[in-house]
Structure formats: C-alpha cells, structure tokens
Amino acid sequence: MKESIHNYWHDKIIKYHCFILVIILSLFFLDIRLTAFLAVIFAWFIPEILYPLLIIMPAIKNVVIFSQGFTMMKLLGLLYLVLLIYRKHSQEIIEMVNSWHFKLIFLYVLLIMLNIINFRLFSWEKVSMLFPLNLASIFKDNMFNIVKILFSLFLFIDFASMKIDDLKKLLNNMSTVISIIVLPIFIYTITLGFQSQISWHVIRATLNNTKPGEYSYLLSILIPFLIYCIIYNQNIILKIISLTSLCEIIYLISITISRGGALALIFSVIMSILLLQYNHKRILIFFIMIAALMFLLESTGIINIDYWIVRNKIMSTDISKLTTHRYDFWITGLKYSFSSIRNFIFGGGSSPLLERYINMTDGVRGNVMHNIYIGNLVKYGFLGLMMFCLIMGRIIYKFINYRAFLIKNHYEVFLVPFLSLSVSLFAGLFVSWEFREILWILTGMSAGILYALGIFKKFNGEITFSNKERIN
C-alpha cells in the first residue's frame, strides 16, 4: 500500500516538473527550439500535460512567440489535435456528432461563414470609405476564428468520451498543476515580463505585449481552479501553494488597475465559493484575507497606486467616463442594430472593421464594441446573438441542474471549468473576445463534461461515493 502511494506521488511529481519546465523555458529563456522539442516529447508521453497548458497559455501567449503569427498556443493546439485523432476511434467521434452541442456549434459556424457574404454585399462600400479592405484578408481572419470554435468541438469529443473517474482525475490534476504554475508566471510578470502603460494619467502594470484589462480577465479565469484546491485538496502543502497563488493573482490584477478585472475577480471568488461550497463564513474569510492582503501591500509600499484617480472614475456620475467610453460604444452598436430590420435580424457582416466604422461615423472613437453580446448583435444580428446565447445558456442551465448531484457525489471538480467559463462570459461584458481561445476551450470542456455526466447518470444512477474519493 505504502509503495503504491509512493509510486503515485512519484509519478505526479515527474509530470508536474515536466509541465513547469515547459513554462519556465517558454517565459524565462525563450529558447524556441528546445521549448518546442520538449513540449512535443512531453505531450506524446504525458498527454495530460496539454490540458492545463491550454488553460494557462492564453494568459501568456503574447510572450511565447516562435515566429511571426506562430505562437506556443498554436503549437499546443496542433499537438492536441494530432494526439486526439491518434487516440480516439472514429465511432466515438460519430456518436458525438449527433449531440445538440455539436449541432448548435455547426449552425453558429455556418452563420459566421454566411455573414462574410452579408458583409461583402451590404457593408463593404460603407466600411471601405474609412478602411482599406481586402476580401482575402477578411476571409482569412474569419477562418482563424472558425478554427478556434471548431477546436472546442474536439475538446468536447475528448471530454465526452472519457470515463467519469478518468475525467475526475484529469480535472483534479489540472487544478493542482494550475495552482503550482501561477508562481513562475507571477515572478516573470514582476521581473522580466513587466511592462507599464500610461492611461487615465496613471501607470498601469501588465505582462509584455498584453493589455492590462485583458491580462486581469485572463488571470481571473484561473481563480476557480485555485479555490477548488484550497477547499477540497487534502494535502496541506498544496493548499498553501493554492492560497499563495490566489494572493499572487490578486496582486497582479491590482497592479493592472483594471476596474473590469477587479469586478471579474470578485465575481470569480463569489461564484466559486457559492457553487463549490455554499458557506457564508468562507466568503467572509476570503474577503477579509483579500482586504488584509491589499492593505499590507499598500502599507509596505509594494503596491503604489494612485487610488484617488480610480476612485474619481468610479464615483463619476458620467456613465461614459465611468465605463471608459464603453457605454458610448454600446449605445452606438444598439442604434446601428435597431436602425433597420435587416441589421437587427442578420447583422452587418463578419468583420471587426464594421464595429470600428460604426463607432467612428457616430462621432465615437473607432473602436470595437467591447462587449461580446453587442458585438454578436452588430455583426451577426439577432440570429447570431441568439445562437451564441443558446450555446452558452444551455451549458449554464445544465450545470446548475447538475450541481446538487455533483456536490452529493463529491464531483465538485466538474464545476470548475464551468465556473471559469462563467467568468469569461462575465468578462465579455467589457471586452470583445467572442473569438478568444480560452472562451471556446472552456466551452468545449464544459460541454464534454455535461455529456459524460449525462451518460454516467443514465447508466449508473445517483451513485454516491465516500469522502475518500475526494482529491488526495
């Protein structure tokens, strides 16, 4: 028994070291050939290393670039697809094609492709007056976006075809690895990767080549994995590591001075604690710890932020100033959508340049909508917005229905990808990232988990497990 436990932890430690080595090489040494070589080797022999990398990499992808247009994120995606096709049987893939999720994704992709034609027919002449247009470039950009959505289908197939116990073990390992890997990312961000940007007349810190707001949102998405480990991990050392990682993420979000990031942080913490374990005392303790940490960092001078500027923005009665002109973008987008029946139902077409054109012609800065829902409405109309909300809403509805079953059977870890997906959808109120990799990665994982749970309940019923089945 002791020998088997020793071998289990020895195997885990080796996998964790492989994962950390890839991240450290990517960030600190930027040795492109060695990093790529090790990523391929480790992924082939330890395929589960790819899953936490897919969650972590979007936050640091702008740093780990091999060549123009080829990032570590794309390499991981290619590796994952090769391994998935190698491991899965065609019969498993055919079975998933008949699922509702697969059909909805297919319809959404078809809608995006048809809206390329819509843009060419009805929006091309207007937008070309302000921006140089190239049909091949627009088609290429849309194909990249479609590939991200289709990639989520492969994740869906992968997770849906796993046995429930294997899925639980995978998600437990993902939570642990993500908790551990936050430390090197934190060290890199405050040292070699530190970059300051001036906005609102104040210096905001972020990671190299990454916008402060987006970086804070991407970090907030990791929080459910950390909180799960803090609550349910039985290993005290890993609990301390997870708590430390949570404090590091709070610090990194605070130095970005992103109000949306702060809201995403609060949303992530509250939703994680409420859904993973409804306990008001835990919520109170967490917020006391966060407040104490921020007070300690500010009083010791580690954080030096002009909070009066942030406070003036928050207390402003001008809603445009309060939302950094996002409110203006939203109103302009809604006005465009409701200006005609065609715009409302079908949208103006598949191009972010359309959003910039709409804002510029209405006297607002030429920017995108900074809202995935209004962005969907403007580009794909009510049909596109309805399809997107149907995909995400169906996942949310089913997870809420499954929550009691998961808590009862000690499968709380299955809620974690859903919680991270919820944070990304919440962040979508402030940013246009309907085609961000992380959004569709979490969508595929969450939908696959739901499919696997449906099969499990259908054939096994509500089988309960002892507390010993929790993460060790």
- Angle between helices 212-220 and 259-276 in degrees, nearest 10: 0
Burial class (CB in 10 A: 0-12, 13-18, 19+), 363: exposed
* Prediction pTM value: 0.88
Boundaries of every domain in the chain: 1-87, 91-161+326-472, 189-323
Report the pLDDT value the prediction gives residue 267, as an integer from 0 to 100.
92
Where would I find the beta strands (DSSP E) of 211-354? none
Q: What is the mean pLDDT of residues 101-113?
A: 92
* Closest to 304 measured CA to CA, from 205, 219, 198, 199: 205
Quote the pLDDT of residue 463.
43
**What is the structure's pLDDT at 315?**
56
Chain segment 154-163, per-residue pLDDT in tens: 899 889 988 8
Q: What local confidence, expressed as pLDDT, does residue 469 receive?
A: 39
More confident residue, 278 or 9: 278
The two tokens of residue 327 are: 């409110």
pLDDT given for residue 17 in this prediction: 61
CB 53 within 8 A of CB 79: no
pLDDT of residue 464 exceeding 50: no
Tokens, residue 307:
């909070």
pLDDT for position 9? 42
- Choose the weakest-confidence range: 38-47, 103-112, 117-126, 454-463: 454-463
End-to-end CA distance of the chain: 15
What pLDDT, on the 0 to 100 scale, is given for residue 303?
56
Q: Residues 348-361: pLDDT tens digits?
A: 998 889 999 998 88
Q: How many angstroms separate the CA atoms of 218 and 213, rounded?
A: 9
Confidence of residue 454 (pLDDT cuts 50, 70, 90): confident
Q: Mean pLDDT in the chain? A: 81
